[in-house]
């Protein structure tokens, strides 16, 4: 019961979700659906910007495209897992790559979920909700 109340308070207060994808239209679409779900999306289109946000702002989860220009998204994931303060931050990897070794690499580095594009937005929201709920217990 107590954990359930924390989850509802978190959503009312707006779970802070960082969305990292170099496709701005993808960011816009995810931002819109997360906002409608009562969350607070923070979007960025470069890994450098994502690293800056991760290092300076409190977050509840990250949606991460690994195939980023410049710094690879898996380097962002490695950075998240290497820091004590972000080590348990939920990360959902979202990529168009379907090959098993690529997907398994993200999970082995500590991604909570690995979702292949295209995907249903309701499934992504469900994954975010599960990740955020797990961090409240």
pLDDT of 66 strictly over 80 = yes
Distance from C-alpha of 58 to C-alpha of 70, rounded to nearest angstrom: 24
Answer for the pair 20, 70: CB distance below 8 angstroms, yes or no.
Answer: no
Task: State the distance between the two ends of the chain, measured CA to CA, in whole angstroms.
Answer: 11
Residue 74 lies in a domain: yes
135 or 48: which carries more pLDDT confidence? 48
Say which residues have a Cβ less than 8 Å from residue 92's Cβ, sequence separation at least 6.
Answer: 61, 62, 63, 64, 111, 112, 113, 114, 115, 124, 127, 128, 131
pLDDT of 1 strictly over 50 = no
Residue 136 lies in a domain: no
In this prediction, residue 12 carries a pLDDT of: 54
Residue 81 lies in a domain: yes
Distance from C-alpha of 13 to C-alpha of 40, rounded to nearest angstrom: 9
pLDDT-derived band at 8 (thresholds 50, 70, 90) equals very low
pLDDT-derived band at 59 (thresholds 50, 70, 90) equals very high
Residues 111-122: pLDDT tens digits? Answer: 999 988 888 899
pLDDT of 97 strictly over 80 = yes
Residue 115 lies in a domain: yes
Residue 137 lies in a domain: no
In this prediction, residue 7 carries a pLDDT of: 42
The total number of structural domains that make up the chain: 1
Answer for the pair 127, 106: CB distance below 8 angstroms, yes or no.
Answer: no
Residue 69 lies in a domain: yes
CATH number at residue 84: 3.40.50.2300
Residue 36: give the domain boundaries.
Answer: 2-131
- pLDDT > 70 fraction of the chain, expressed in percent and rounded: 89
Global pTM?
0.87
- pLDDT > 90 fraction of the chain, expressed in percent and rounded: 73
Q: Average pLDDT of 71-90?
A: 96
């Amino acid at each position: 019961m107590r954990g359930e109340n924390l989850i509802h308070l978190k959503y009312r207060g707006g779970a802070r979700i960082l969305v990292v994808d170099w496709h701005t239209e993808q960011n816009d679409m995810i931002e819109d659906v997360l906002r409608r779900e009562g969350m607070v999306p923070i979007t960025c289109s470069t890994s450098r910007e994502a690293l800056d946000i991760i290092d300076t702002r409190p977050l509840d989860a990250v949606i991460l495209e690994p195939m980023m220009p410049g710094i690879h998204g898996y380097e962002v994931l490695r950075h998240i897992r290497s820091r004590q303060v972000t080590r348990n931050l939920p990360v959902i990897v979202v990529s168009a790559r379907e090959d098993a070794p690529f997907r398994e690499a993200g999970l082995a580095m500590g991604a909570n979920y690995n979702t292949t594009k295209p995907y249903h937005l309701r499934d992504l929201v469900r994954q975010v909700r599960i990740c955020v709920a797990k961090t409240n217990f």
